Amino acid sequence: MRVSIFGTGYVGLVTGTCLAEVGHQVVCVDVDAAKVRGLEEGVVPIYEPGLTPMVKANHAAGRLRFTTDAADALDFGEVIFIAVGTPPDEDGSADLQYVLAVARSIGEHMQRPSVVVNKSTVPVGTADKVRAAISEALANRGIDIPFQVVSNPEFLKEGDAINDCMRPDRIVVGAQDEDAVAMMRRLYAPFNRNHDRMMTMDVRSAELTKYAANAMLATKISFMNEIANIAEKVGADVEMVRKGIGSDPRIGWHFIYPGAGYGGSCFPKDVQALTRTASQYGYQARVLDAVEAVNDAQKGHLFELMLRHYGNAEALRGKTIAVWGLAFKPNTDDMREASSRRLLAQLWEAGARVRAFDPEARDESRRIFGERSDLVLCDSADAALEGADALAVVTEWKQFRSPDFAMLKRKLSDAVVFDGRNLYEPIDVETQGLAYWGIGRGRSV
Ligand code: NAD
Protein backbone atom coordinates (compact mmCIF):
# COMPACT_ATOMS: atom_id res chain seq x y z
CA MET A 1 0.00 0.00 0.00
CA ARG A 2 1.08 3.62 -0.43
CA VAL A 3 1.40 5.37 2.90
CA SER A 4 2.20 9.00 3.75
CA ILE A 5 3.23 9.96 7.26
CA PHE A 6 3.27 13.51 8.59
CA GLY A 7 5.90 13.95 11.32
CA THR A 8 9.23 12.12 11.45
CA GLY A 9 9.74 12.12 15.22
CA TYR A 10 9.97 8.97 17.32
CA VAL A 11 6.52 7.79 16.30
CA GLY A 12 6.37 8.86 12.65
CA LEU A 13 9.86 7.71 11.76
CA VAL A 14 9.60 4.36 13.52
CA THR A 15 6.12 3.70 12.10
CA GLY A 16 7.14 4.69 8.58
CA THR A 17 10.26 2.57 8.72
CA CYS A 18 8.43 -0.51 10.04
CA LEU A 19 5.67 -0.16 7.42
CA ALA A 20 8.36 0.05 4.72
CA GLU A 21 10.13 -2.95 6.27
CA VAL A 22 7.04 -5.14 5.67
CA GLY A 23 6.79 -4.02 2.06
CA HIS A 24 4.60 -0.91 1.98
CA GLN A 25 5.66 2.17 0.02
CA VAL A 26 6.17 5.02 2.48
CA VAL A 27 6.80 8.72 2.21
CA CYS A 28 7.52 10.64 5.41
CA VAL A 29 6.83 14.38 5.50
CA ASP A 30 8.27 16.85 7.96
CA VAL A 31 8.39 20.64 8.16
CA ASP A 32 11.96 20.43 9.48
CA ALA A 33 13.94 20.67 6.24
CA ALA A 34 17.31 19.91 7.89
CA LYS A 35 15.88 16.72 9.39
CA VAL A 36 14.44 15.64 6.04
CA ARG A 37 17.76 16.34 4.25
CA GLY A 38 19.62 14.34 6.88
CA LEU A 39 17.20 11.41 6.67
CA GLU A 40 17.52 11.30 2.88
CA GLU A 41 21.26 10.89 3.51
CA GLY A 42 20.74 8.20 6.16
CA VAL A 43 21.29 10.47 9.17
CA VAL A 44 18.75 9.48 11.85
CA PRO A 45 18.36 12.37 14.32
CA ILE A 46 17.33 10.26 17.33
CA TYR A 47 18.95 7.36 19.13
CA GLU A 48 16.72 4.32 18.88
CA PRO A 49 18.28 0.85 18.82
CA GLY A 50 18.11 -0.78 15.38
CA LEU A 51 16.49 2.19 13.66
CA THR A 52 19.38 3.59 11.60
CA PRO A 53 20.19 0.41 9.62
CA MET A 54 16.49 -0.17 8.98
CA VAL A 55 16.00 3.38 7.67
CA LYS A 56 19.03 3.03 5.41
CA ALA A 57 18.00 -0.40 4.08
CA ASN A 58 14.44 0.62 3.27
CA HIS A 59 15.56 3.91 1.76
CA ALA A 60 18.07 2.06 -0.43
CA ALA A 61 15.35 -0.42 -1.44
CA GLY A 62 13.19 2.51 -2.60
CA ARG A 63 10.35 1.83 -0.16
CA LEU A 64 11.04 4.78 2.17
CA ARG A 65 11.63 8.39 1.27
CA PHE A 66 11.49 11.77 2.98
CA THR A 67 10.13 15.11 1.88
CA THR A 68 8.97 18.50 3.10
CA ASP A 69 6.37 18.63 0.34
CA ALA A 70 2.86 17.99 1.66
CA ALA A 71 1.39 18.08 -1.85
CA ASP A 72 3.74 15.27 -2.92
CA ALA A 73 2.68 13.20 0.11
CA LEU A 74 -1.04 13.68 -0.60
CA ASP A 75 -0.50 12.86 -4.25
CA PHE A 76 1.26 9.65 -3.19
CA GLY A 77 -0.54 8.15 -0.20
CA GLU A 78 -3.84 6.29 0.02
CA VAL A 79 -3.44 6.13 3.81
CA ILE A 80 -2.31 9.38 5.45
CA PHE A 81 -0.91 9.27 8.98
CA ILE A 82 -0.72 12.21 11.37
CA ALA A 83 2.17 11.60 13.78
CA VAL A 84 3.18 15.08 14.92
CA GLY A 85 3.76 16.28 18.48
CA THR A 86 0.99 17.17 20.92
CA PRO A 87 2.96 19.05 23.60
CA PRO A 88 1.26 20.41 26.70
CA ASP A 89 -0.43 23.76 26.38
CA GLU A 90 0.03 26.34 29.14
CA ASP A 91 -2.85 24.89 31.14
CA GLY A 92 -1.70 21.26 30.70
CA SER A 93 -4.16 20.34 27.96
CA ALA A 94 -2.79 18.90 24.70
CA ASP A 95 -1.77 21.56 22.20
CA LEU A 96 -3.39 20.52 18.93
CA GLN A 97 -1.85 23.20 16.72
CA TYR A 98 0.47 20.78 14.88
CA VAL A 99 -2.21 18.13 14.40
CA LEU A 100 -4.68 20.68 13.05
CA ALA A 101 -2.03 22.29 10.82
CA VAL A 102 -1.47 18.87 9.24
CA ALA A 103 -5.23 18.37 8.91
CA ARG A 104 -5.55 21.69 7.05
CA SER A 105 -2.64 20.76 4.84
CA ILE A 106 -4.28 17.41 4.06
CA GLY A 107 -7.47 19.22 3.03
CA GLU A 108 -5.50 21.68 0.91
CA HIS A 109 -3.74 18.95 -1.08
CA MET A 110 -5.99 15.87 -1.01
CA GLN A 111 -6.37 14.38 -4.50
CA ARG A 112 -8.48 11.26 -4.01
CA PRO A 113 -10.62 9.48 -1.39
CA SER A 114 -8.29 8.79 1.54
CA VAL A 115 -8.13 7.35 5.02
CA VAL A 116 -6.59 9.82 7.47
CA VAL A 117 -5.13 8.04 10.47
CA ASN A 118 -4.35 9.93 13.64
CA LYS A 119 -1.43 8.37 15.50
CA SER A 120 -0.61 11.36 17.70
CA THR A 121 -1.86 11.14 21.28
CA VAL A 122 -4.88 13.42 21.26
CA PRO A 123 -7.81 14.19 23.54
CA VAL A 124 -11.18 12.62 22.98
CA GLY A 125 -13.00 14.53 20.27
CA THR A 126 -9.91 15.41 18.21
CA ALA A 127 -10.94 13.21 15.29
CA ASP A 128 -14.00 15.46 14.91
CA LYS A 129 -11.76 18.53 14.83
CA VAL A 130 -9.44 16.92 12.28
CA ARG A 131 -12.45 16.01 10.12
CA ALA A 132 -13.77 19.58 10.35
CA ALA A 133 -10.39 21.10 9.46
CA ILE A 134 -10.01 18.86 6.40
CA SER A 135 -13.60 19.52 5.27
CA GLU A 136 -13.11 23.28 5.62
CA ALA A 137 -9.92 23.22 3.55
CA LEU A 138 -11.64 21.10 0.88
CA ALA A 139 -14.59 23.51 0.87
CA ASN A 140 -12.17 26.42 0.38
CA ARG A 141 -10.96 24.62 -2.74
CA GLY A 142 -14.59 24.26 -3.79
CA ILE A 143 -14.39 20.47 -3.94
CA ASP A 144 -15.74 17.52 -2.02
CA ILE A 145 -13.61 14.39 -1.73
CA PRO A 146 -14.80 11.61 0.58
CA PHE A 147 -12.40 10.75 3.39
CA GLN A 148 -12.41 8.92 6.72
CA VAL A 149 -10.68 9.87 9.97
CA VAL A 150 -9.43 6.92 11.99
CA SER A 151 -7.85 6.89 15.44
CA ASN A 152 -4.88 4.55 15.74
CA PRO A 153 -2.99 5.46 18.92
CA GLU A 154 0.61 4.40 19.24
CA PHE A 155 1.92 2.37 22.18
CA LEU A 156 5.62 2.06 21.30
CA LYS A 157 8.23 2.61 24.00
CA GLU A 158 11.27 4.71 23.24
CA GLY A 159 14.32 2.48 23.54
CA ASP A 160 12.42 -0.57 22.29
CA ALA A 161 10.37 1.12 19.61
CA ILE A 162 11.27 -1.11 16.65
CA ASN A 163 10.36 -4.24 18.57
CA ASP A 164 7.09 -2.70 19.78
CA CYS A 165 6.22 -1.62 16.28
CA MET A 166 7.12 -4.93 14.60
CA ARG A 167 5.51 -7.06 17.33
CA PRO A 168 2.79 -4.93 18.91
CA ASP A 169 0.75 -6.20 21.89
CA ARG A 170 -2.28 -4.70 20.25
CA ILE A 171 -3.23 -2.47 17.36
CA VAL A 172 -6.09 -0.22 18.43
CA VAL A 173 -8.21 1.13 15.60
CA GLY A 174 -11.08 3.49 16.25
CA ALA A 175 -13.22 3.97 13.16
CA GLN A 176 -16.82 4.67 12.15
CA ASP A 177 -16.63 3.12 8.75
CA GLU A 178 -16.21 -0.50 7.67
CA ASP A 179 -14.18 0.40 4.58
CA ALA A 180 -11.69 2.31 6.72
CA VAL A 181 -11.38 -0.68 9.07
CA ALA A 182 -10.79 -2.96 6.06
CA MET A 183 -8.06 -0.60 4.84
CA MET A 184 -6.38 -0.68 8.27
CA ARG A 185 -6.60 -4.48 8.29
CA ARG A 186 -4.80 -4.65 4.96
CA LEU A 187 -2.17 -2.18 6.14
CA TYR A 188 -1.43 -4.07 9.35
CA ALA A 189 -1.89 -7.63 7.99
CA PRO A 190 1.90 -8.28 8.01
CA PHE A 191 1.94 -7.60 11.76
CA ASN A 192 -1.04 -9.86 12.38
CA ARG A 193 0.21 -13.13 10.91
CA ASN A 194 0.87 -14.86 14.22
CA HIS A 195 -2.50 -13.89 15.67
CA ASP A 196 -4.94 -11.05 15.23
CA ARG A 197 -3.72 -8.13 17.29
CA MET A 198 -6.13 -5.59 15.90
CA MET A 199 -8.91 -4.29 18.13
CA THR A 200 -11.55 -2.17 16.51
CA MET A 201 -13.72 0.21 18.45
CA ASP A 202 -15.38 3.59 18.15
CA VAL A 203 -13.14 6.59 17.65
CA ARG A 204 -13.63 8.17 21.09
CA SER A 205 -12.84 4.94 22.93
CA ALA A 206 -9.65 4.56 20.88
CA GLU A 207 -8.60 8.11 21.74
CA LEU A 208 -9.25 7.52 25.44
CA THR A 209 -7.50 4.12 25.40
CA LYS A 210 -4.11 5.75 24.81
CA TYR A 211 -4.50 8.14 27.75
CA ALA A 212 -5.84 5.39 29.98
CA ALA A 213 -2.81 3.21 29.20
CA ASN A 214 -0.27 5.92 30.00
CA ALA A 215 -2.20 7.10 33.04
CA MET A 216 -2.32 3.55 34.40
CA LEU A 217 1.43 3.10 33.95
CA ALA A 218 2.16 6.46 35.55
CA THR A 219 -0.17 5.53 38.41
CA LYS A 220 1.76 2.31 39.04
CA ILE A 221 5.01 4.28 39.25
CA SER A 222 3.66 6.97 41.55
CA PHE A 223 1.94 4.36 43.71
CA MET A 224 5.23 2.51 44.14
CA ASN A 225 7.08 5.74 44.89
CA GLU A 226 4.52 6.49 47.55
CA ILE A 227 5.06 3.04 49.08
CA ALA A 228 8.83 3.70 48.92
CA ASN A 229 8.40 6.96 50.82
CA ILE A 230 6.34 5.18 53.45
CA ALA A 231 8.95 2.40 53.61
CA GLU A 232 11.65 4.98 54.30
CA LYS A 233 9.64 6.41 57.18
CA VAL A 234 8.69 3.13 58.79
CA GLY A 235 12.03 1.37 58.38
CA ALA A 236 11.09 -1.11 55.65
CA ASP A 237 12.86 -1.92 52.38
CA VAL A 238 10.67 -1.21 49.37
CA GLU A 239 12.67 -3.68 47.27
CA MET A 240 11.45 -6.47 49.54
CA VAL A 241 7.94 -5.09 49.35
CA ARG A 242 8.17 -4.91 45.55
CA LYS A 243 9.09 -8.59 45.35
CA GLY A 244 6.37 -9.41 47.85
CA ILE A 245 3.63 -7.80 45.79
CA GLY A 246 4.94 -8.43 42.24
CA SER A 247 4.57 -12.16 42.75
CA ASP A 248 0.79 -11.69 42.88
CA PRO A 249 -0.30 -12.13 39.25
CA ARG A 250 -3.07 -9.59 39.75
CA ILE A 251 -0.36 -7.02 40.42
CA GLY A 252 2.49 -8.36 38.28
CA TRP A 253 6.17 -7.44 38.04
CA HIS A 254 6.01 -4.67 35.48
CA PHE A 255 6.17 -0.99 36.30
CA ILE A 256 6.42 -1.34 40.06
CA TYR A 257 9.97 -0.05 40.35
CA PRO A 258 10.38 2.85 42.74
CA GLY A 259 12.77 5.56 41.59
CA ALA A 260 13.49 9.21 40.99
CA GLY A 261 10.18 9.85 39.25
CA TYR A 262 8.92 9.33 35.71
CA GLY A 263 9.79 11.69 32.87
CA GLY A 264 9.81 11.59 29.10
CA SER A 265 7.60 13.16 26.50
CA CYS A 266 4.53 11.05 27.27
CA PHE A 267 3.61 10.23 30.87
CA PRO A 268 3.85 13.74 32.33
CA LYS A 269 1.99 15.42 29.49
CA ASP A 270 -0.59 12.66 29.02
CA VAL A 271 -1.53 12.50 32.71
CA GLN A 272 -1.93 16.28 32.68
CA ALA A 273 -3.92 16.29 29.45
CA LEU A 274 -6.31 13.59 30.70
CA THR A 275 -6.81 15.51 33.96
CA ARG A 276 -7.56 18.57 31.89
CA THR A 277 -10.01 16.75 29.61
CA ALA A 278 -11.80 15.40 32.70
CA SER A 279 -12.09 18.87 34.21
CA GLN A 280 -13.40 20.29 30.93
CA TYR A 281 -16.22 17.77 31.29
CA GLY A 282 -16.79 18.81 34.92
CA TYR A 283 -15.00 15.88 36.54
CA GLN A 284 -12.09 16.20 38.93
CA ALA A 285 -9.67 13.31 38.31
CA ARG A 286 -8.43 12.92 41.89
CA VAL A 287 -6.28 9.85 41.34
CA LEU A 288 -4.54 11.51 38.41
CA ASP A 289 -3.99 14.72 40.40
CA ALA A 290 -2.28 12.65 43.06
CA VAL A 291 -0.21 10.69 40.51
CA GLU A 292 1.19 13.94 39.19
CA ALA A 293 1.78 15.48 42.61
CA VAL A 294 3.63 12.38 43.86
CA ASN A 295 5.79 12.34 40.74
CA ASP A 296 6.62 16.00 41.02
CA ALA A 297 7.77 15.53 44.60
CA GLN A 298 9.66 12.36 43.69
CA LYS A 299 11.82 14.19 41.18
CA GLY A 300 13.23 16.11 44.13
CA HIS A 301 13.79 13.03 46.25
CA LEU A 302 17.42 12.31 45.34
CA PHE A 303 18.34 15.84 46.34
CA GLU A 304 16.34 15.36 49.51
CA LEU A 305 18.50 12.30 50.29
CA MET A 306 21.61 14.41 49.69
CA LEU A 307 20.33 16.99 52.16
CA ARG A 308 19.81 14.22 54.70
CA HIS A 309 23.32 12.92 54.14
CA TYR A 310 25.08 16.27 54.20
CA GLY A 311 22.83 17.88 56.81
CA ASN A 312 21.86 20.97 54.80
CA ALA A 313 22.11 22.61 51.37
CA GLU A 314 25.02 24.82 52.48
CA ALA A 315 27.17 21.70 52.91
CA LEU A 316 26.73 20.97 49.19
CA ARG A 317 28.30 24.29 48.16
CA GLY A 318 31.53 23.60 46.27
CA LYS A 319 30.95 19.83 46.16
CA THR A 320 31.38 17.94 42.88
CA ILE A 321 28.70 15.35 42.22
CA ALA A 322 29.18 12.66 39.60
CA VAL A 323 25.87 11.96 37.85
CA TRP A 324 25.37 8.71 35.94
CA GLY A 325 22.49 8.98 33.50
CA LEU A 326 20.76 12.05 32.06
CA ALA A 327 18.19 10.52 29.69
CA PHE A 328 14.71 10.02 31.15
CA LYS A 329 15.21 6.25 30.80
CA PRO A 330 17.82 3.89 29.32
CA ASN A 331 18.28 3.26 25.59
CA THR A 332 17.25 6.71 24.53
CA ASP A 333 18.83 10.15 24.28
CA ASP A 334 15.52 11.80 25.13
CA MET A 335 15.77 14.14 28.11
CA ARG A 336 12.29 15.65 27.98
CA GLU A 337 11.03 15.99 31.58
CA ALA A 338 13.93 13.81 32.76
CA SER A 339 14.46 13.57 36.52
CA SER A 340 18.14 14.43 35.94
CA ARG A 341 17.11 17.95 34.95
CA ARG A 342 15.51 18.60 38.33
CA LEU A 343 18.49 17.16 40.20
CA LEU A 344 21.01 19.21 38.24
CA ALA A 345 19.00 22.37 38.79
CA GLN A 346 18.87 21.70 42.54
CA LEU A 347 22.59 20.93 42.72
CA TRP A 348 23.48 24.10 40.84
CA GLU A 349 21.15 26.12 43.03
CA ALA A 350 22.99 24.75 46.07
CA GLY A 351 26.35 25.76 44.55
CA ALA A 352 27.52 22.23 43.64
CA ARG A 353 29.26 21.24 40.41
CA VAL A 354 28.26 18.29 38.24
CA ARG A 355 30.34 15.81 36.25
CA ALA A 356 27.81 13.86 34.21
CA PHE A 357 27.91 10.85 31.94
CA ASP A 358 25.16 9.40 29.80
CA PRO A 359 25.86 6.85 27.05
CA GLU A 360 23.62 8.61 24.53
CA ALA A 361 22.29 11.92 25.87
CA ARG A 362 25.51 13.94 25.77
CA ASP A 363 24.61 16.02 22.70
CA GLU A 364 21.09 16.51 23.98
CA SER A 365 22.36 17.78 27.34
CA ARG A 366 24.75 20.13 25.61
CA ARG A 367 21.83 21.43 23.57
CA ILE A 368 19.70 21.88 26.70
CA PHE A 369 22.27 23.27 29.15
CA GLY A 370 24.80 24.91 26.81
CA GLU A 371 28.29 25.61 28.12
CA ARG A 372 28.40 26.15 31.87
CA SER A 373 31.27 26.15 34.29
CA ASP A 374 29.43 23.94 36.79
CA LEU A 375 28.78 21.12 34.30
CA VAL A 376 31.31 18.78 32.73
CA LEU A 377 29.88 16.25 30.27
CA CYS A 378 32.17 13.25 30.45
CA ASP A 379 33.00 10.51 27.96
CA SER A 380 32.67 7.61 30.35
CA ALA A 381 31.22 6.62 33.71
CA ASP A 382 34.75 6.44 35.14
CA ALA A 383 35.64 9.90 33.86
CA ALA A 384 32.62 11.34 35.67
CA LEU A 385 34.09 10.09 38.96
CA GLU A 386 37.38 12.00 38.58
CA GLY A 387 37.56 14.56 41.36
CA ALA A 388 33.98 13.84 42.47
CA ASP A 389 32.81 13.83 46.08
CA ALA A 390 29.71 11.72 45.60
CA LEU A 391 27.89 9.68 42.96
CA ALA A 392 24.22 9.99 41.99
CA VAL A 393 22.72 7.36 39.66
CA VAL A 394 19.73 8.80 37.85
CA THR A 395 19.12 6.55 34.79
CA GLU A 396 19.27 2.76 34.95
CA TRP A 397 21.52 2.11 31.93
CA LYS A 398 22.71 -1.52 32.01
CA GLN A 399 26.35 -0.48 32.15
CA PHE A 400 25.79 1.16 35.57
CA ARG A 401 24.48 -2.01 37.17
CA SER A 402 27.69 -3.58 38.50
CA PRO A 403 30.30 -0.95 39.22
CA ASP A 404 33.53 -1.72 41.05
CA PHE A 405 32.53 -0.45 44.49
CA ALA A 406 36.10 -0.58 45.78
CA MET A 407 37.07 1.78 42.95
CA LEU A 408 34.11 4.04 43.79
CA LYS A 409 35.39 4.17 47.37
CA ARG A 410 38.83 5.23 46.18
CA LYS A 411 37.50 7.90 43.82
CA LEU A 412 34.66 9.54 45.76
CA SER A 413 36.07 11.84 48.45
CA ASP A 414 32.89 11.71 50.53
CA ALA A 415 32.43 7.98 49.87
CA VAL A 416 28.70 8.13 49.25
CA VAL A 417 26.37 6.76 46.57
CA PHE A 418 22.87 8.11 45.92
CA ASP A 419 21.05 5.42 43.95
CA GLY A 420 18.00 6.95 42.28
CA ARG A 421 17.01 3.66 40.62
CA ASN A 422 17.76 1.11 43.34
CA LEU A 423 20.35 -0.60 41.15
CA TYR A 424 22.49 -1.74 44.06
CA GLU A 425 22.10 -3.74 47.22
CA PRO A 426 22.91 -1.48 50.17
CA ILE A 427 25.04 -4.21 51.74
CA ASP A 428 27.27 -4.54 48.63
CA VAL A 429 27.98 -0.83 48.68
CA GLU A 430 28.36 -0.47 52.42
CA THR A 431 30.79 -3.38 52.84
CA GLN A 432 33.18 -1.38 50.64
CA GLY A 433 33.04 1.49 53.11
CA LEU A 434 30.65 3.69 51.14
CA ALA A 435 27.48 5.24 52.47
CA TYR A 436 24.39 4.18 50.49
CA TRP A 437 21.16 6.08 49.91
CA GLY A 438 18.46 4.46 47.76
CA ILE A 439 14.76 5.05 47.20
CA GLY A 440 12.57 3.62 49.94
CA ARG A 441 15.33 1.55 51.45
CA GLY A 442 14.49 2.05 55.06
CA ARG A 443 15.99 -0.42 57.47
CA SER A 444 14.81 -1.34 60.91
CA VAL A 445 18.36 -1.47 62.31
P1 NAD B 1 8.39 14.38 18.05
O2 NAD B 1 8.34 15.72 18.67
O3 NAD B 1 9.58 13.50 18.22
O4 NAD B 1 8.18 14.54 16.46
C5 NAD B 1 7.18 15.31 15.88
C6 NAD B 1 7.64 15.67 14.45
O7 NAD B 1 6.56 16.29 13.77
C8 NAD B 1 8.81 16.64 14.39
O9 NAD B 1 9.83 16.11 13.56
C10 NAD B 1 8.20 17.90 13.77
O11 NAD B 1 9.13 18.65 12.99
C12 NAD B 1 7.10 17.32 12.91
N13 NAD B 1 6.04 18.24 12.52
C14 NAD B 1 5.48 19.25 13.25
N15 NAD B 1 4.55 19.88 12.49
C16 NAD B 1 4.50 19.24 11.30
C17 NAD B 1 3.74 19.43 10.11
N18 NAD B 1 2.80 20.39 10.01
N19 NAD B 1 3.98 18.58 9.07
C20 NAD B 1 4.91 17.61 9.15
N21 NAD B 1 5.67 17.41 10.25
C22 NAD B 1 5.46 18.22 11.30
O23 NAD B 1 7.08 13.64 18.52
P24 NAD B 1 6.89 12.08 18.87
O25 NAD B 1 7.60 11.74 20.12
O26 NAD B 1 7.10 11.27 17.65
O27 NAD B 1 5.33 12.09 19.22
C28 NAD B 1 4.32 12.25 18.24
C29 NAD B 1 2.98 11.93 18.86
O30 NAD B 1 2.95 10.55 19.25
C31 NAD B 1 2.68 12.71 20.14
O32 NAD B 1 1.30 12.97 20.19
C33 NAD B 1 3.08 11.75 21.24
O34 NAD B 1 2.36 11.98 22.43
C35 NAD B 1 2.69 10.43 20.64
N36 NAD B 1 3.46 9.28 21.15
C37 NAD B 1 4.79 9.39 21.41
C38 NAD B 1 5.48 8.28 21.87
C39 NAD B 1 6.95 8.37 22.20
O40 NAD B 1 7.45 7.46 22.86
N41 NAD B 1 7.66 9.38 21.78
C42 NAD B 1 4.82 7.06 22.04
C43 NAD B 1 3.47 6.97 21.73
C44 NAD B 1 2.80 8.10 21.28
Residue-wise pLDDT tens digits, 29-74: 999 999 999 999 999 999 999 999 999 999 999 999 999 999 999 9
- Closest alpha carbon to 345 in 357, 356, 330: 356
Distance 98 CA to ligand 1 centre (A): 9
CB-facing half-sphere around the CA of 94: CA atoms within 13 A: 26
pLDDT band at 443 (very low <50, low <70, confident <90, very high): confident
Mean pLDDT of 6-24: 98
Whether 2-201 and 236-445 share one fold: the answer is: yes
Kindly provide the residue ranges of all beta strands, DSSP E only, lying in 252-301, ordered along the sequence: none
- Is the CB of 265 within 6 Å of ligand 1? yes
Q: How far apart are the first and last CA of the chain?
A: 65
pLDDT score at 445: 47
243 annotated ligand-binding residue: no
For domain 236-445, which architecture applies? 3-Layer(aba) Sandwich (3.40)
Query: Contact, 90 vs 82, CB < 8 A?
Result: no
Minimum-distance ligand 1 atom for the alpha carbon of 266: 34
Which residues are within 8 A (CB) of 137 and not within 5 positions of it... i.e. 6 or more apart? 103, 104, 105, 106, 107, 108
pLDDT band at 178 (very low <50, low <70, confident <90, very high): very high
For domain 2-201, which architecture applies? 3-Layer(aba) Sandwich (3.40)
Burial of residue 248, with CB atoms counted within 10 A of its CB: 0-12 exposed, 13-18 middle, 19 or more buried: exposed
Query: Contact, 166 vs 21, CB < 8 A?
Result: yes
pLDDT in tens, 405-424: 999 999 999 999 999 999 99
Q: Does the interface ipTM go beyond 0.90?
A: yes
- Domains of the chain by residue range: 2-201, 236-445
CA dihedral for 202, 204, 205, 209, sign (positive or negative): positive
Query: Contact, 414 vs 433, CB < 8 A?
Result: no
- Is the CB of 263 within 6 Å of ligand 1? no
